[in-house]
Amino acid sequence: MSAIEVQNLTKRYEDVTAVNHINFEVKKGEIFGFLGPNGAGKTTTIRILTGLLKPDEGKAFVVGYDVAKNPIEAKQCIGVVPEVSNAYIDLTAWENLTLIGKLYGVPAQKLQENATKLLKEFGLYEVKDKLVRGFSKGMKQKLLLCMALVNDPEVLFLDEPTSGLDVESARLLREKITQFNRDGKTVFLSTHNMEEANQLCHRTAIINHGKIAAIDTPENLRAQSMELQYIEVLFDRNVNIQEISKHPSVSKASPAGNKVRIYTANPSDVIEFLADFAKQNGTRILSLNTMMPSLEDVFLKLIKEKEASPK
Amino acid sequence: MSQFAEQLKRSLAIAKKNIKIYYSKGPVIIFGLVFPLFLALAYVIGRNIALKEVLPGIIAMTTFFTATSVGPSIVPWETRSKTLERLLCCPIAFWAIILGDMLSSFLFGLVISAIPLLLTLAFNVELLNFAALSLGLVIANLCFSALSVLLSAYPPTDIPATSMMLSSLVKFPLVFISGVFIPVEQLPEWGRIVASFSPLTYFADLTRQFTLKIGFYPIAIDFLMILIFTVVFLFAAIKLHERTLAKRIS
């Protein structure tokens, strides 16, 4: 059984189709990344999967439960960290945690244990009796993750969990997500942060204009876009970049600081050419690096391709 | 534990949360405490009527205002702070959330309205009548708290003040047509017809029956009508909130 299964899912807001017949499956124990630009349909998809919205077409199953037909059973198995902090600011951290625990029907003794353990793990135990109103963004985000984990969920949904966080808090959150996943639990992570998706996710889906552009491992996605790999070369003096651009194996050359960035699907060919080019122009190569395309490059390429393709 | 009982338990968690958060909010204090107190004072001071005579009206009015003071603000407040989304992500049925809101409004009304109720003991009200009036007070608080949650359903605003203002537009006319200031039997025929559509009419009548031993409707009718209004208000509140929910979380 998959942890999440989405079949032909569609959601419309008046004349806008936010999610357009999407299909995907998230395996048990997987960290699944969901990437897309603003307005791509990420949050709408998460809202359907977490039972906040009803789809207009299609089906979504979480831990085998149809979220439209059995919302209570489906929600019982999940934890949610939403895009916007929504802990109760007029309650203390402890009260927020116990409220959520009670809404999940966690037995009192177990709830006490879970809440204490989580608050200690996230460094919030000392401030557990303070109102959330006075918490920093990082503390609020940690509390949201505690609230999402207090019921020991099977599947954890995270919508931009590290957005706007300081480096230390973001790293702690990523560590906790990885730790949660190591226990065999499933994570559905919506993020703008390509590096985060690259580091954390086993597989990644890219969504744009409500449609899935690609689903694969970050490595495979990058491999599919080898023309996006590039060479960064530093000469000892300024060179004519247009001359480099003319080479048939070079798809694009542009300055990148004091270096020249050369995009190519055939790096070895270009390196040979650059050696000849340096000799002919009486210049020396001070450094040369071959770079694989980043997930961000792949993401932008896929988004552009989708936008260029006829609808 | 059956699913229904488990959901009721989760309703209580919602009610407890509301008590902690909303009882101390300004609009609740103003509409739930200050307002009924000053209305009661205005009703008593300078009028040449014995306190026992005005006590039924004060009980009815206090119950009505206090029980309807918390409900209208909860859902708009939760919409604004996005905590409504947090609740909707949890495995709690929507009716259980609404019931929790209603319970918190009910408890606020019950505690405050118990004060004028206890005053009746100073006027030699028979214990049996006092017990019956107490039961009526509990049911009336349920009814008015259900009404208060219904009043926050439309329009689906996220501004508590808007909801409070609109609910006042409904609440004030109801006080004047419900036999609180002028008993139903003294109203003209058209006034009696209009009064029969208000749940407060039956509770005001009930308080007069048990304290002054005069009333317009049979006691059973008073109880029955308050119960019917309670069920109708609660059902309507759940359905109307369900209908406007998508607008609140969009």
Give yes or no for A56 touching B (CB within 8 A): no
The count of CB pairs under 8 A between chains A and B is: 71
- The closest CB to that of A82, out of B21, B85, B93, belongs to B85
Taking CB atoms and an 8 Å limit, are B87 and A103 in contact across chains? yes
- The closest CB to that of A86, out of B9, B86, B91, belongs to B86
- CA–CA separation, A41 and A190 (whole Å): 10
- pLDDT on residue A229: 82
List of chain A residues whose C-beta atoms are within 8 Å of the C-beta of residue B83: 86-88
Give yes or no for A99 touching B (CB within 8 A): yes
- CA–CA separation, B230 and B125 (whole Å): 27
Residue pair B143/B233 in contact by the 8 Å Cβ criterion: yes
CA distance A248 to chain B (A): 51
Place of tokens 């609230």: A147
List of chain A residues whose C-beta atoms are within 8 Å of the C-beta of residue B82: 82, 84-86
Written as one string, the DSSP assignment of chain B is --HHHHHHHHHHHHHHHHHHHHTTSHHHHIIIIIHHHHHHHHHHTT----HHHHHHHHHHHHHHHHHTTSHHHHHHHHHHTTHHHHHHHSS--HHHHHHHHHHHHHHHHHHHHHHHHHHGGGGT--HHHHHHHHHHHHHHHHHHHHHHHHHTTSS--S-HHHHHHHHHHHHHHHHHHTTSSS-GGGS-HHHHHHHTT-HHHHHHHHHHHHHTS--SS-HHHHHHHHHHHHHHHHHHHHHHHHHHHHHHH-
- The closest CB to that of A51, out of B21, B86, B89, belongs to B89
Assembly ipTM: 0.90
Residue pair A49/A2 in contact by the 8 Å Cβ criterion: no
Residue pair A189/A26 in contact by the 8 Å Cβ criterion: no
List residues bridging with A230 in a β-sheet: A263, A291
- The closest CB to that of B20, out of A82, A91, A105, belongs to A91
pLDDT of residue B98 exceeding 80: yes
Query: For residue A279, what are the CA distances in angstroms to A185, A285, B147?
Result: 57, 9, 87
- pLDDT on residue B86: 94
Residue of B nearest to A72 (CA): B91
- The closest CB to that of A86, out of B13, B14, B82, belongs to B82
By mean pLDDT, which of A279-283, B13-17, B25-29 is the weakest?
A: B25-29
Taking CB atoms and an 8 Å limit, are A88 and B17 in contact across chains? yes
Query: For residue B87, what are the CA distances in angstroms to A89, A96, B79, B83?
Result: 14, 11, 11, 6
List of chain B residues whose C-beta atoms are within 8 Å of the C-beta of residue A91: 17, 20-21
Taking CB atoms and an 8 Å limit, are A50 and B89 in contact across chains? yes
CA distance A5 to chain B (A): 18
Residue of A nearest to B23 (CA): A90
Taking CB atoms and an 8 Å limit, are A90 and B21 in contact across chains? yes
Taking CB atoms and an 8 Å limit, are B93 and A72 in contact across chains? yes
Give yes or no for A89 touching B (CB within 8 A): yes
pLDDT band of B59, cuts 50, 70, 90: very high
Report helix, strand or coil for A243: helix
Amino acid present at A224 = Q
Taking CB atoms and an 8 Å limit, are A103 and B81 in contact across chains? no
- pLDDT on residue B60: 94
DSSP-derived secondary structure letter, A281: T
Written as one string, the DSSP assignment of A65-98 is EETTTSHHHHHHTEEEE-SS--S-TTSBHHHHHH
CA distance A49 to chain B (A): 10
Q: Cis ω on the peptide bond leading into residue B155 (within 30° of 0)? A: yes
Count of residues for chain A? 311
Give yes or no for A84 touching B (CB within 8 A): yes
- CA–CA separation, A57 and A205 (whole Å): 20
Q: What is the pTM of this model?
A: 0.86
Taking CB atoms and an 8 Å limit, are B90 and A82 in contact across chains? no
Alpha-carbon dihedral of residues B4, A76, B92, A34, nearest 10 degrees?
-160
- pLDDT on residue A188: 97
Name which of A145, A167, A222, A157 is nearest A191 in CA terms. A157
Q: List residues of chain B with CB under 8 Å from any CB of chain A.
A: 3, 6, 9-10, 13-14, 16-17, 20-21, 81-83, 85-93, 246, 249-250
Tens digits of per-residue pLDDT, B103-143? 999 999 999 999 999 988 888 788 899 999 999 999 999 99
Written as one string, the DSSP assignment of B166-199 is HHHHHHHHHHHHTTSSS-GGGS-HHHHHHHTT-H
DSSP-derived secondary structure letter, A44: H
Mean pLDDT for each 10-residue chunk of chain A (311 residues)?
Answer: 94 91 96 90 94 94 96 96 92 98 97 97 95 95 96 95 87 92 95 83 92 89 77 91 90 90 89 92 91 76 70 49
Name which of A259, A103, A161 is nearest B17 in CA terms. A103
Residue ranges of domains in chain A, CATH in brackets: 4-218 (3.40.50.300), 230-291 (3.30.70)
Average pLDDT over residues B10-37: 90
Tens digits of per-residue pLDDT, B222-248? 999 999 999 999 999 999 999 999 888
Q: Which two tokens stand for residue A1?
A: 């059984």
Name which of A35, A17, A24 is nearest A2 in CA terms. A24
Residues in CB range of B60: below 8 A, 6 or more apart:
B140, B178, B180, B200, B203, B204, B207
Amino acid present at A37 = P
Taking CB atoms and an 8 Å limit, are A52 and B90 in contact across chains? no
- A219 sits in which H/E element: helix A218-223
- pLDDT on residue B126: 86
Report helix, strand or coil for A156: strand
Taking CB atoms and an 8 Å limit, are A86 and B92 in contact across chains? no
- CA–CA separation, A53 and A44 (whole Å): 8
- pLDDT on residue A305: 74
